[in-house]
Structure 1
Amino acid sequence: MSMDELPMALLSDILSRVSSRSLIRHRCICKRWREVVDDFYSRITGKELLCQEIEEGKIYLLDEQEEATKMIQIAKFPGLKDYIFQGACNGLLLFAHKGVVKNNPDLLLNPLTQEILRLPRAPDFQPHKSVYGFGFDRSTNTYKMVQIDEIDLDEETRTCTVRARIYDFEKRSWRICRAPPPPPSSHSARPDGAFVFASRAGCTFVFASGALYWFLYEYSPSGGPLARAMLSFDLTREEFNPIPIPDGLLRDVLHMHELEGSLALVHYPKEAHIDVWVLEDYRRREWTRKHRIRAPCAGG
């Protein structure tokens, strides 16, 4: 039986037992091996952690197949120090340029194949007033990139106009999203759907369950951002929706992640534990606490 005749489920099971270092090395054997490894990599990257050392422009894969969990360098991009990591989808990494020049492109990077796609910035791009998202729409079998921009601030009402654009990878151009995000407020997250624009807090996105997610913030008197709610974007419907954060989590440190295909919040209370909450029902916006991990240093 040839490799082409193996069921994908069996082939995936075999490759899952191979270390990441070996997989990267076997890409060089032949074209067919490269295709198989690249396809497998795109399937499993969400289960493993990609991280970066931005000063050196290095990309690492956290490999749990080794005897001891360790990071393996899979690529090096010297110019990456000029970019800020925004998030990942199917093994592809999105980076935004630190520069304020409109012509500086953003990057979509495949660290395994070392391919780079340079993305033009949207016409409404404004330094420090844009947030990004990148995900896969299963209904059309296409990737979509979203850019949200704060267009204008009303000094009297302290609210601003927001516009969203979607990047068409086939036409290589931007189009305006037909359903704009809810208008933010520079003061607080209110029940009427007005939220703080998140970009000034160094917001990154998470792709999970067919949607993109961002934190929405208000600013404390000291000037620091505090997560108060979340904003989602359904890639199929191309609609924005506010997502409430579970009660009791608003005053503590929160981090957002993808966990087994769903959105997860990692909560660091002042007690000696860490809680993991999962958004199990996107339509009903229902959260469930899945894990409680003992951690003496939590919250501190």
Structure 2
Amino acid sequence: MEDYVLPESLILDVLSRLPVKTIVRCKCVCKKWRDLVSDTYFVDLHLSRSRPCLMFHQYKNPHPILVFVEVEHEVDYDRLTLGHVKSLDLGLIAFRSLNQIFEVGSINGLICLRHEGYAIYIFNPVVVEEYMILPELTFLDFFSRVSYGFGVSMGGEYKVIRIIGRRIPEEQFMASVEIEVYTLGTDQWRSLGPTPYHIDYRGLLVSGVFVNSHVYWFDYIQIYDFDLDTETFELIPPPAGLGDNHEAKQMLGVLKGSLSLFSGSSLGFNVWVMKESSWHKAIAIRETIDPIFRSQGWKPLCLIDGLNGTSILILCVKEDRENVVGYCLNTNKILDLNIPGNYWMVISTYRPSFIKTPKLWIRES
């Protein structure tokens, strides 16, 4: 009886549908499987099917831990089952300052982090032995603000955007705002000069949101759009009526591949989605809002696509203790995540991949 050998195309198809943690184990089965997983075709195929993940910090002595959990399935829309992918000790990849690590963003499996000394680190946590450190920013005074964005242009160039603003004491708007761009592989920051708009300093307190070769910032008044291909800065008006509720908690995010804006208060929730350069209200919840949102003891953290076509808000709530939970915006139900947290916790979305850092960028740990 002849030995039956599975076609290579079938092996690749099956492997690409597995969770990342399982694929990493499969690489250890034999040299052939290791080579298959490293092949460019498999890397692209897996990325197209990669499941959404959540990425968050756990601060433990002696180093902070970056944790990745994968959305596995939704059980009766009452619980979001998360599978642990990886816990990464940031002290193992040569971070020089470990007390304050901030997430800038992620794209195609590459993660961009910065620390309080303004150094920028880029790496793939699945292939953590390769990472890049960008040139640091010189010291800024107390009234300066810096915000970053990370994304990839339509031409395939990965770029980090840095917005540097100097705030006028006791004023909301910046006296001057400069834009700098770092294209990975060039080893230098390029100055694009001042922005054409005044920016509220609150818009520089969080990192930009990447969507389809654009990075967006929101200062609760206007939305600022940076085009990674043309390297131009434009102003986008927010949805009509957004500012009517001054108690609303607002946040930019990405749902189903489109720029989205969440606004919520004790009066209800709204989610707008950008389609063909126009805002469309996708979700509106009023009388049926969960009682947990009647108080001010909650904070939106990020938006993520569910596995059943749902849209999920990840948030921190204050009850007897602080917890991170999910809220299905389609069914109006709280989803148990079993993630301990605190009100200052930052959670972002991440799509794991096996993309390797191009040789031009590599600094080995």
What TM-score bracket applies, with the shorter chain setting the length?
A: 0.7 to 0.9
For residue 207 of structure 1, the aligned residue among 189, 210, 216 is: 210
How high is the TM-score relative to the length of structure 1? 0.74
- Aligned residue number for residue 71 of structure 2: 63
CA contact (8 A) 1:105 1:119 kept: yes
CA contact (8 A) 2:260 2:273 kept: yes
- Aligned residue number for residue 189 of structure 1: none
> How many residue pairs end up in the alignment?
263
- Aligned residue number for residue 162 of structure 1: 177
For residue 279 of structure 1, the aligned residue among 260, 274, 299 is: 274
CA contact (8 A) 1:43 1:90 kept: no
Evaluate the alpha carbon distance shift between residue 86 and residue 295 of structure 1 in structure 2; reply closer, same or farther with a 3 A threshold: farther
CA contact (8 A) 1:130 1:150 kept: yes
Shift of 1:153: 4.8
Amino acid paired to 2:283: H
Amino acid paired to 1:229: Q
CA distance in 2, matches of 1:160, 1:64: 47
Write the deviation string for residues 50-76 of structure 1: whole angstroms up to 9, x where unpaired.
Answer: 311241412213322597621414241
Shift of 1:265: 1.2
For residue 135 of structure 2, the aligned residue among 108, 116, 120 is: 120
CA contact (8 A) 1:27 1:37 kept: no
Shift of 1:95: 1.2
Evaluate the alpha carbon distance shift between residue 71 and residue 244 of structure 1 in structure 2; reply closer, same or farther with a 3 A threshold: farther
Shift of 1:275: 2.5
Q: Please give the secondary structure, in 2, of the residue aligned with 1:177.
A: strand
Amino acid paired to 1:83: I
The aligned runs of 1:32-71 (5 Å cut-off) are 32-35=36-39, 38-40=43-45, 42-44=47-49, 48-55=52-59, 56-65=64-73, 69-71=81-83
For residue 176 of structure 1, the aligned residue among 175, 188, 191 is: 191
For residue 108 of structure 1, the aligned residue among 111, 116, 122 is: 122
CA distance in 1, matches of 2:235, 2:203: 16
CA contact (8 A) 2:111 2:122 kept: yes
CA contact (8 A) 2:52 2:71 kept: yes
Which has the higher Rg, Structure 1 or Structure 2? 2
Is 1:84 matched with 2:99? no
Amino acid paired to 1:228: I
Q: CA RMSD in A?
A: 3.2
Amino acid paired to 1:147: R
Q: Please give the secondary structure, in 1, of the residue aligned with 2:242.
A: coil
CA distance in 2, matches of 1:299, 1:209: 35
Amino acid paired to 1:70: L
CA contact (8 A) 1:48 1:62 kept: yes
Shift of 1:263: 0.5
Is 1:93 matched with 2:111? yes
Is 1:257 matched with 2:253? yes
- Structure with more relative contact order (C-alpha pairs < 8 Å, separation 6 or more): 2
Evaluate the alpha carbon distance shift between residue 40 and residue 156 of structure 1 in structure 2; reply closer, same or farther with a 3 A threshold: closer
Q: Please give the secondary structure, in 1, of the residue aligned with 2:180.
A: strand
Is 1:248 matched with 2:241? yes
Evaluate the alpha carbon distance shift between residue 255 and residue 233 of structure 1 in structure 2; reply closer, same or farther with a 3 A threshold: same
Evaluate the alpha carbon distance shift between residue 32 and residue 167 of structure 1 in structure 2; reply closer, same or farther with a 3 A threshold: same
CA contact (8 A) 1:59 1:76 kept: yes
How high is the TM-score relative to the length of structure 2? 0.62
CA contact (8 A) 1:212 1:234 kept: yes
Q: Please give the secondary structure, in 2, of the residue aligned with 1:203.
A: coil
Shift of 1:132: 0.4
Shift of 1:126: 6.1
- Aligned residue number for residue 269 of structure 1: 265
CA distance in 1, matches of 2:174, 2:56: 36
CA contact (8 A) 2:167 2:201 kept: no
Q: Please give the secondary structure, in 1, of the residue aligned with 2:222.
A: strand
CA distance in 2, matches of 1:40, 1:15: 10
Shift of 1:123: 5.6
Write the deviation string for residues 272-300 of structure 1: whole angstroms up to 9, x where unpaired.
Answer: x4332101123xxx111112455413363
CA distance in 2, matches of 1:143, 1:287: 27
CA distance in 2, matches of 1:170, 1:96: 18
For structure 1, the 5+ residue unaligned runs are 185-194, 217-226
- Aligned residue number for residue 332 of structure 2: none
Amino acid paired to 1:279: M
